[in-house]
A and B are shown apart, each in its own frame.
Chain A
Amino acid sequence: AQTVTQSQPEMSVQEAETVTLSCTYDTSENNYYLFWYKQPPSRQMILVIRQEAYKQQNATENRFSVNFQKAAKSFSLKISDSQLGDTAMYFCAFMKHGTNFGNEKLTFGTGTRLTIIP
C-alpha cells in the first residue's frame, strides 16, 4: 500500500514571496504519478500540477513548480510570487501507473493549509 505524508499542517507567507510545501511518499512501485491539488475556501478541488515518475524533468505550470526526488521519495511544490488567490488547502497525491481497473485511484496526504498574507 502507498502512503503520502505532508508534515506541514499550516503555513503562511507574505504576498509575493516564494513558498515550498513538502510531501514525501512511500511505495514499492517504480512507475507512478504524483499530483498537487488545491482546495480554495470555495471548496472545489482543482489540479495544480502533475508529475510522471519516469520523467526526470520537474513539472512546471506558470508560478507552480515541483522538486521531484525519486530516490528520496520526495515531491515538494514551490509557489513563486505568491498571490492572495493561492490561499487554500494543498494536497499531495499518489497514483499507480498502469491500465488495470482501479489504477486511477488516488492516495492523498493530509494537506497543508497555506495562507497568503497581504
Chain B
Amino acid sequence: DVKVTQSSRYLVKRTGEKVFLECVQDMDHENMFWYRQDPGLGLRLIYFSYDVKMKEKGDIPEGYSVSREKKERFSLILESASTNQTSMYLCASSLSKSQHFGDGTRLSIL
C-alpha cells in the first residue's frame, strides 16, 4: 500500500512565524501535491511538483512556497504565517491518475 506521511497531525503557531509542513511518500511517485481544506470550500490546490526541484503553482499559492529536494519529500512553507492560513492541509502523491493522501495537518495560527 502507498504510504503518505505528514509530519504533524496538529500544529499551533503564531502569526509571523515561518512554518514548515513536511510530507513523505514511499512509492517513488513523480507527482506530489499540497491542498488546503476549508469547510464549504472543499480542497483547493496550493502547489504541486512533478519532479525533484520542479514545482508549479496551484489555484491559491499566495503566502506559500514549496520545496522538493528529494523525490520522496515535499515540503510546504508558510513564509510569514497569518490567521487566515488556519486550515487543514493535505498532502498527496500520485501515479497513473490515482492520488493517495496523507492524514492531514490541522494548523492553527494564533
Contact = CB atoms under 8 A, between A and B. Distances in A.
A and B interact: yes
Interface of A: 4, 6, 9, 33, 42-47, 50, 91, 95, 101-102, 104-111
Contacts of A95: 97
Interface string B91-110: 01010011111111000000
Given A44-B101, A106-B43, A107-B45, 7 more contacts: A6-B42, A33-B97, A101-B54, A102-B48, A105-B45, A108-B43, A110-B41
B17 interface: no
Of the four ranges (under 10, 10 to 19, 20 to 34, 35 or more), the interface on chain B belongs to 20 to 34
Given A50-B98, A104-B99, A110-B40, A43 B48 contact: no
A70 B90 CA distance: 30
B50 A43 contact: no
B73 to A, nearest CB: 18
Contacts of A109: 42
A43 B89 CA distance: 11
B104 A104 contact: no
Contacts of B99: 47, 104, 106
11 contacts: A4-B42, A43-B104, A46-B101, A50-B98, A102-B50, A104-B50, A104-B97, A106-B33, A107-B45, A108-B35, A110-B41
Nearest to A110: B42
A42 B90 CA distance: 13
B58 interface: yes
A40 to B, nearest CB: 11
